[in-house]
Amino acid sequence: MFTSYFFIACVKIYCNMKNKLILSLLIACGVLFSTNAQAQGDQGEQVFTLDAGFSVTGGLIKAVFDDNPTFDSTGTLVPGGSSVSGGPAIVLGWDMGLSERWSIGAIVTTQGWSGDAANSFINSDGNWVDETVNFKLRRNNVSICPKIHYGNGDNVDLYSGLRVGYVFWNSSIESNDPAYNLLEDFASGGRVNFGLTLFGGRFYVNDNLGLNFELNMGAPFLFGAGLNWKLT
């Protein structure tokens, strides 16, 4: 019964989203999880994870430059372009079992991007300046992650859950243009994040070591995979 309430609440939270496929998946999962499947975790059991997580943020950064073409002093469009590179998010996680079905945990993540882009502006002397903007961006996150576990088998742990935390950025942007603000949405401040783990799984090769994956909605990553170590 508690499981059904959990997923009904999740659907209500995301009911304003237009992606019918995702909503259908949530409803289907809610029906599945309301069955009497045996949970994997035990009370007091701890699991540590090391994952690589993937997001769409790098593509969004690239799109910022693609949507802002470069013009010369006569207003003519000139070749500009940008270069953006980055790796996956590094995700450190920890979970502790509260019961056979519920656990509470936390994750810490970091992910970085760097690159350069063409920029043109008129300086304080009234001269037209062409420059290359070099930048480095790093997104960090700390989240609390309650989970519900389900599934059968001593070597398999399937779960879903929530992620509530805070995203904050570190940045270095080298530009002589005082009005340069293309990256301001990524490079400053922070925000509270709320996400949903749609589906995750841990598959153990022995009593302690296992492989895992997660499919998520929201920051700081959408898909992740890696290793986990269980303390029993």
Average pLDDT over every residue of 42-66:
87
Segment 74-87 mean pLDDT: 75
CB atoms closer than 10 angstroms to residue 80: 17
pLDDT at 34 over 50: no
Tokens representing residue 98 in the block: 């509260």
The answer to whether the beta carbons of residues 44 and 97 sit under 8 Å apart is yes
115, 216, 217, 127: which is closest to 171 by C-alpha? 115
Nearest C-alpha neighbor of 159 from the set 111, 84, 103: 103
Secondary-structure percent of the chain, ordered helix, strand, coil, rounded to 5: 15, 55, 30
State the pLDDT at residue 64. Answer: 79
pLDDT at 77: 64
pLDDT of residue 41: 56
Q: Identify the CA nearest to 52 among candidates 220, 206, 195.
A: 220
* Residues 6 or more apart in contact with residue 3 via CB below 8 angstroms: 30, 33, 34, 101, 148, 150
Q: What is the mean pLDDT of the chain?
A: 80
Residue 57: pLDDT band by 50, 70, 90 thresholds? confident
How far apart CA 120 and CA 135 sit, in angstroms, is: 16
Query: Residue 24: its pLDDT value, please?
Result: 40
- Given a cut of 50, whether residue 18 has pLDDT beyond it is no
Give the pLDDT mean for 124-131.
88
Please say if the pLDDT value at position 176 is more than 70.
Answer: yes
d(CA 95, CA 47): 5
